[in-house]
Structure formats: structure tokens, C-alpha cells
Amino acid sequence: MNLILFDPAEVTVPLPRADPRARHLLEVLRRREGDVFDAGLVHGPRGKGTLTAIGEDVLTLAFVWGEVPPPLPPVTLLIGLPRPQTARDLLRDATALGVAALHFVATEKSERNYATSTLWTTGEWRRHILAGTAQAFDTRLPEVSWSLTLTAALDRFAPVPKAATLAAPNRDEGGRLALDNYEATRPLAALPATTPTVLAFGPERGWGAEDRAMLRAHGFTLAHLGPRPLRTETAVIAALAVLGSAHGW
């Protein structure tokens, strides 16, 4: 952890020694009484924590807060529901790179039962975005969902543009990009940088014909990352790196 994150209700009570953050402080950072560490308040400021006392069962901490980090990059990811282990990697790594939202959606070729994984039903997913946020020395968590269909997600986050903008979306609408290995004719890096951006990725088996038609109707441009098919998690990281380089995030 580059930053140890706390929810607001946690900073006024002792931290149990069984908590992974306590173990990290004592065993990885090797902090002792009186030592200082980097801390963050979820959706709030960064600052410094002080380990004021080490008890048998709890650690007592004190905090001094500084400034709130800048806003997250205005990127919304729509990702066809992947296997739970792939989703875990995406939650952590996409959060670390910086996105405003990750929406895992049911597509034409998705395995619908992935949405009932314990990753989602037990709330485990939050642990992975906290890990990505801490890695990036940030405090803001992206919005996350896993219960929408592609149709519902497009209607909510990228509604059908006016007819006049279908051929040439204006900058106020931002970029609408879908990664595709089969029908895309333009590389992602060659497309103009616009914000905010909605970036869509198919599931492991790719987009179906109905998915592509729906994406095009919502003003999406199909783009590629080159001729080599990539795993979903690799494609997401590569695409975010391309966009981040173009925008300076």
C-alpha cells in the first residue's frame, strides 16, 4: 500500500491488529509507536497518520489531513462481464490507472452467471478498488456496477446522440469508443482526444453483431489496438495507457 485508506467512521476508533492495514503498518512498513505514515480518507483528503500506541489487540492512531486529490479522469469503462478473476484484476488495475467509473455489463456473448459470483454478492469488489486507489496514492473511488445490460448502460451513460452529431460527435459529448478486433478500421491512438470518454470493451468472446449495431447507434467509433488479439485485462490497461498519454492524465 502506498497510501493507507480509512473510511470516515474508522479514524475515531482504534484499528484492530487483525486488520490487514494494521499488519501492513507493523510488518511491512515496520512502524513503531510515534512513527508517521501516509494516510488517506476515502473520497477525502490525504494526510499523515501517527501510530500513537500499540496495544495487544488494537493500534491507536492520530491523523492530520491535508488537501483533497484532484478529480478522477473523466473516463467511464463499459466492460462485458468477464470471469471473476479477470474482474478482480480489472477493478484493481483500472482503478490504479484512474477512471471515474467501471460498469461490468451483460452483452450478447457474456456469461450471465458471472454477475452472481461472490466477488459481487459479498462486496469483495470494494477491496480491489481500495487496493488500486491506495496503489495510486489517491483517495477517490470509482463508481462500480455489475447488474446492467449493455443496452441499459448505453442508455444511461451514452444516450443516442442527435442525428446531426452521429457522424461527428461534438466535444461536449466527448469520446465514445469501443475496442474491437474484427470490424474496427482505425487504431485507438489515431483518434482525436476528447473528454469525457466512454470506453467499451467486449467480454472474453468479443462483441456480437447486435452489440456492434447498438454501439454504433449510440455514436461509438470502433477502434483497435493493433492486429494481435489481447486478453480483456490487457486491452483495458493498454487502452487506458493510450488515452492517458493523449490527455496527460
- Please tell me whether residues 117 and 18 are part of one structural domain: no
- Please tell me whether residues 123 and 234 are part of one structural domain: yes
Query: Cα dist. 174→22, 44, 169, 196, 215 in Å?
Result: 43, 27, 7, 5, 15
The whole-number average pLDDT for the span 64-80 is: 95
Q: What distance in Å separates the CA atoms of residue 217 and residue 228, rounded to the nearest whole number?
A: 27
- Please tell me whether residues 36 and 149 are part of one structural domain: no
**pTM for the predicted model, two decimal places:** 0.91
What would the pLDDT profile of 99-156 be if each residue is shown by its tens digit? 999 999 999 999 989 999 999 999 999 999 999 999 999 999 999 999 999 999 999 9
- Please tell me whether residues 14 and 117 are part of one structural domain: no
DSSP string, 11-66: TTSPEETTSHHHHIIIIIS---TT-EEEEEETTS-EEEEEEEEE-SSEEEEEEEE-
> Hey, which residues does 200 pair with through a beta bridge?
78, 178
Q: Report yes or no on 70 lying in a domain.
A: no
**Contact by Cβ (8 Å): 198, 158:** yes
- Please tell me whether residues 61 and 85 are part of one structural domain: no
- Please tell me whether residues 44 and 131 are part of one structural domain: no
**Contact by Cβ (8 Å): 99, 123:** no
User: Considering its fold, how many domains does the chain have in total?
Assistant: 2
Q: What is the DSSP letter of 158?
A: S
pLDDT for residue 249: 76
Give the CATH number for residue 161. 3.40.1280.10
- Please tell me whether residues 241 and 166 are part of one structural domain: yes
Residue 227: pLDDT above 50? Answer: yes
What would the pLDDT profile of 146-182 be if each residue is shown by its tens digit? 999 999 999 999 998 876 444 554 443 459 999 998 9
